[in-house]
Amino acid sequence: MNNPLVRRRLSFIKKNKLISFSLIIFLTSLLFICVMSLRIFIQNKQVITFTKSGRTVTGSVNLDIKMEIPFKADNIKNCWQEWDGSWGSQYDIYIYNKSDAAFLDWNLVMTIPTEGRIDSSWNADYVHTIGKISITGIDSFFTTVIHPHNSIKLGFVLYSDNLMNGSDFILTGRFIRNPLREPSFIVALVFLAVSLIVFIVSLFFYHTIKAQAAIDNEKIDSLLKLCARFIDTRDEYTKMHSSHVGFYSKEIAKEMGFDEEFQKNIYYMGMMHDVGKVLIPKEILCKPGKLSDEEWAEMKKHTSYGAEILSDFAAVKGIREAVLFHHERYDGKGYPRGLHDKEIPIQARIIAVADSYDAMHTNRSYRNHLDDTVILSELEKNKGIQFDPDVAEAMLRLLRKKGFV
C-alpha cells in the first residue's frame, strides 16, 4: 500500500488495541449481517411446495392443511342430500403456518370429485376446473398472508355424488423471514452498534489526546532545541552539530524502515547525544591539539554525564541509553562499557554513524573537514568494525541518493 496517509492510519489502528478490537468486532458483525441478509433474501425468493395426500405429507414441516365439514348449531354436520341423491356440504379448509416467518404468494390446489359443482365460497379466490380447485388469498379478506404461528380459514359449498372424506392438496408459496425476528441477527446488530460507539468514542479520545500530545511535543521540541543550541555554543567548531546529528539519525532510521514514532524519538536523542559535554571543562572541549591521557579520560566521561543528566527525563523513551552508548563500537572497543554488536541499543548504533559522519564533514579545532571520498571510504571501511554494517550501509545509500556529502 503506497499511500502514506493510509499507511499511517493503518499503523495507528494496529497500535491502539481498543480501536483495533472494536473495528474487528464491527467488521465481523457487519459481515455476519450482510451474509445473513443475503441468505434470507435468497430464501425469501424460494418457492416452497407442500403436498398432502391422506396421511402422506411431503415438503415443509412448518405447514399443514386440514379439511372438515363443520357442525351446525344443533350439533349436526352441515351437509344434506338432494332429491336426486347427490350431496351438498360445506367444507372448511384450514391452512396452518407453524414457522417464525410469514407465508405469502400462496396457492392451494386440491382435488374434488369430477362431477363436483361449487355453489358458493368465501375468504379466497377460487378457480374451478374439472376435478380440481385452485385457491389463492384475497387482500380484502386478509388471506394473502398467513402470519407466523397462525392460520387462515377458507371454505366452499360443494355439490357432488358423494361427500368428500379427504382430498389431495398441493400448496405452494414463499416464506418471508424478517431478519429482525432472528435472535442471531439482533445480537449482531447489538454488537455492530456497540462496537461502532466504542470505535467513535475511542477515535474522539485519540484525537483529543493526540492534540494535547502535539502541544506537549512542541514544548519538548522547543526545549530540546534550546538545549542543543546551548550545548553547541560551548565550542565554536561544533555549532549546529547536535541538530545535524538529530537530522541524520532521523533520516537513517527512515531509510531503515523504522516508524514515525521511532524517527521522532531518535531525532531528539541525536540532538541531545552530547548533552554531557556541558560538564566537560571548556579548555579540554576546545583544545586545538591532541588531548593528554588524563584529558581524554575526562572527555570520555561526557556519555556518562549525559546519561546522568537525562536519567529522569521520561518524555523520550530510551534517550538515556542512546546517549550513554553512542560511542560504543560494533567490535566492542568503544566506551564506556565495551559493548559490541547487538548489545548496543539500535538508537545508539544509528547515532554513532550520524555523529561520526557530521564530525568528518565539519571543521574541528584539531583538523579541517574531510573530503567527500574520504568520508565515504571511512564509512565503508568501518562497517562491522566501528559501525553497525546495516546502519552504515543505510547512511551510504542516503549519501548516494540525497547527497548529504
Query: Cis ω on the peptide bond leading into residue 336 (within 30° of 0)?
Result: yes
Percent of the chain at pLDDT exceeding 90: 50
> Would you say residue 222 lies in a domain?
no
> Would you say residue 72 lies in a domain?
yes
| Contacts with 32 (C-beta within 8 Å, 6 or more apart), sequence order | 184, 188
Amino acid 404: pLDDT: 54
Q: Are residues 142 and 191 in the same domain?
A: no
Q: Are residues 125 and 199 in the same domain?
A: no
Q: Which of 403, 402, 390 is nearest to 258 (CA)?
A: 390
Q: Are residues 51 and 197 in the same domain?
A: no
At 156, which CATH number? 2.60.40.290
Residue 375 burial (CB count, 10 A):
21
Q: For residue 24, is pLDDT > 70?
A: yes
Percent of the chain at pLDDT exceeding 70: 91
Query: Domain of 305?
Result: 234-402
Q: Is the model more confident about 327 or about 27? A: 327
Q: How many domains does the chain have?
A: 3
Q: Are residues 76 and 149 in the same domain?
A: yes
> Would you say residue 214 lies in a domain?
no
Whole-angstrom distance, CA of residue 384 vs CA of residue 331: 7
Listing DSSP states for 63-129 in one string gives EEEEEE--B-TTS-BSEEE-TTS-EEEEEEEEEEE-SSSEEEEEEEEEE--TT-EEEEEESSEEEEE
Final residue before a domain boundary, out of 164, 194, 209: 209
Q: Are residues 129 and 23 in the same domain?
A: no
Amino acid 198: pLDDT: 83
Q: Are residues 31 and 139 in the same domain?
A: no
> Would you say residue 219 lies in a domain?
no
In tens, the pLDDT along 69-121 reads: 999 888 889 999 999 899 999 999 999 999 989 999 999 999 999 999 999 99
Give the dihedral sign, CA 225/230/236/241.
negative
Amino acid 401: pLDDT: 82
What is the DSSP secondary structure assignment for residue 300, as one 8-state letter? Answer: T
Amino acid 405: pLDDT: 46
> Would you say residue 220 lies in a domain?
no
Final residue before a domain boundary, out of 159, 179, 199: 179
Mean pLDDT of the chain: 86
Q: Are residues 339 and 363 in the same domain?
A: yes
This model's pTM is above 0.75: no
> Would you say residue 215 lies in a domain?
no
| Contacts with 21 (C-beta within 8 Å, 6 or more apart), sequence order | none
Q: What is the mean pLDDT of residues 4-24?
A: 63
Q: Are residues 242 and 330 in the same domain?
A: yes
Q: Are residues 52 and 170 in the same domain?
A: yes
Identity of the highest mean pLDDT range in 153-162, 230-239, 360-369: 153-162
In tens, the pLDDT along 115-138 reads: 999 999 999 999 999 999 999 999
Q: Are residues 163 and 191 in the same domain?
A: no
Q: For residue 274, is pLDDT > 60?
A: yes
At 284, which CATH number? 1.10.3210.10
Q: Are residues 170 and 188 in the same domain?
A: no
Using DSSP bridges, classify how beta strands 117-122 and 150-160 pair: parallel, antiparallel or unpaired. Answer: antiparallel
Q: Are residues 191 and 276 in the same domain?
A: no
In tens, the pLDDT along 135-183 reads: 999 988 788 999 999 999 999 999 999 999 889 999 999 999 888 888 8
CA 319 to chain CA centroid, Å, is 33
> Would you say residue 27 lies in a domain?
yes
> Would you say residue 242 lies in a domain?
yes
Whole-angstrom distance, CA of residue 198 vs CA of residue 213: 22
